[in-house]
């Protein structure tokens, strides 16, 4: 915290009136690309994330500084619009825009951001920044709004202001995380069951491809559009609001309605991934981590073959991980096209896991991956009281 305050003073001259906040990243254990189809996901918040040092201003200026990007962006709280060259600042602006639209009085602020999430790794740095902004505004301007509504508002900011048609999972996991627990989240009704993570001599290992994730907005929205097309086809005979409302048995009966083979593959992944996620959470709840690991592998294979969002980097990490004795399961996590894998690794196998994968991945891809032992933390929160004037 002293380092963050010192950084703020270097940028803004003094740190009077500042408060410090933290918002985690997230990793999804299983249930990928189903949140926007109303299905079940199984994420957890990480101890890594985004820190914010913030204070109110007496005018309407918004000053945002990213220590990671060494980038300073300025605008007015009365002139909030998406600007491509404002990159990270658009996420903050989007949340402030939505809060104002909801009737909250938000004034000027100075905000310094620092994150220790790996860059562009698919661990929800955007949702982390959105919820960070949400809790900063709620605290500084005494907004009467609960965390779940901040989660929904942050998702709306990304959908409508930034223009990425994401589901609810990322913002929910970041805002509602609970230490040492994963969340079985029903994305249709936003109901969540917390399930303790008890791995009994195993650890969750995140491996970063170190490839900048290439999932453009158009690719993400393309997958979502394909799912909407599948729903439209199925509704020639059914009456469902999303793909999560059809069972695998019903899908097998009615999938003939989907003529496009690509659309059929997308729907098949979604239907069976939802079933895998419910089963996987139950297996973990019953401490059957071997069965959980097998379902992780099935999930990755489906994302590779049916949803087609993996790529050589993620596939190589999973393939090499599964060669290591003591690895129960491994899969891509996040949106795909780069980013990270999540693996369940026996504690005494972690050194071998890192050394073997690093060597074999670098030999094939041309550069090494990075490794993080996942520590599961709480959701977005304020860290300290106001600094004395």
Give the residue numbers marked as catalytic.
170
The alpha helices in 235-349, defined as continuous H runs, are 248-254, 261-285, 289-305, 312-321
Are 119 and 183 within 8 A, CB to CB? no
Handedness of CA 314, 320, 326, 329 (dihedral sign): positive
Handedness of CA 45, 46, 49, 52 (dihedral sign): positive
Using the CB atoms, write b or e for 199-224: b if 16+ within 10 Å: beebbbbbbbbbbebebeeeebeebb
Distance (Å, rounded) from C-alpha 1 to C-alpha 250? Answer: 54
**C-alpha 327, offset from chain centre:** 24
Using the CB atoms, write b or e for 234-269: b if 16+ within 10 Å: beeeeeeebbbbbeeeebeebbeebeeeebbbbbbb
Are 24 and 379 within 8 A, CB to CB? yes
């Amino acid at each position: 915290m002293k380092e963050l305050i010192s950084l703020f003073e270097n940028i803004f001259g003094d740190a009077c009136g500042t408060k410090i906040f933290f918002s985690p990243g997230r990793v999804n254990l299983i249930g990928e690309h189903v949140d926007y189809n109303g299905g079940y996901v199984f994420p957890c918040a990480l101890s890594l994330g985004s820190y914010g040092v913030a204070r109110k201003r007496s005018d309407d200026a918004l000053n945002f500084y990213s220590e990671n990007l060494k980038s300073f962006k300025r605008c007015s709280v009365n002139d909030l619009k998406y600007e491509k060259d404002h990159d990270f600042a658009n996420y903050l602006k989007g949340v402030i825009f939505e809060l104002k639209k909801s009737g909250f009085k938000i004034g000027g602020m100075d905000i310094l951001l620092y994150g220790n999430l790996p860059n562009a790794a698919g661990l929800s740095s955007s949702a982390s920044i959105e919820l960070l902004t949400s809790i900063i505004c709620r605290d500084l301007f005494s907004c009467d709004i609960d965390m779940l509504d901040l989660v929904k508002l942050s998702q709306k900011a990304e959908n409508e202001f930034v223009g990425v048609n994401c589901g609810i999972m990322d913002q929910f996991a970041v805002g509602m995380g609970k230490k040492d627990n994963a969340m079985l989240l029903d994305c249709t009704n936003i109901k969540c069951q917390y399930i303790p993570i008890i791995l009994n001599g195993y650890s969750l290992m995140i491996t970063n491809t170190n490839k900048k994730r290439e999932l453009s907005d158009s690719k993400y929205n393309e997958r979502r559009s394909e799912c909407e097309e599948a729903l439209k086809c199925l509704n020639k005979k059914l009456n469902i609001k999303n793909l999560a409302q059809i069972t695998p048995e019903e899908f097998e009966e009615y999938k003939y309605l989907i003529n496009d083979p690509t659309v059929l593959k997308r729907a098949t992944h979604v239907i069976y991934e939802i079933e895998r996620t419910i089963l996987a959470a139950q297996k973990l709840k019953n401490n059957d981590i071997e069965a959980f690991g097998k379902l992780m592998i099935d999930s990755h294979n489906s994302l590779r073959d049916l949803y087609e969002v993996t790529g050589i980097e993620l596939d190589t990490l999973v393939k090499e991980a599964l060669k290591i004795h003591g690895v129960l399961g491994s899969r891509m996590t996040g949106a795909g096209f780069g980013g990270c894998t999540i693996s369940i690794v026996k504690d005494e196998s972690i050194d071998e896991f890192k050394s073997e994968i690093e060597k074999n991945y670098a030999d094939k891809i041309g550069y090494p991956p990075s490794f993080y032992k996942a520590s599961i933390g709480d959701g977005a929160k304020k860290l300290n009281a106001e600094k004395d004037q």
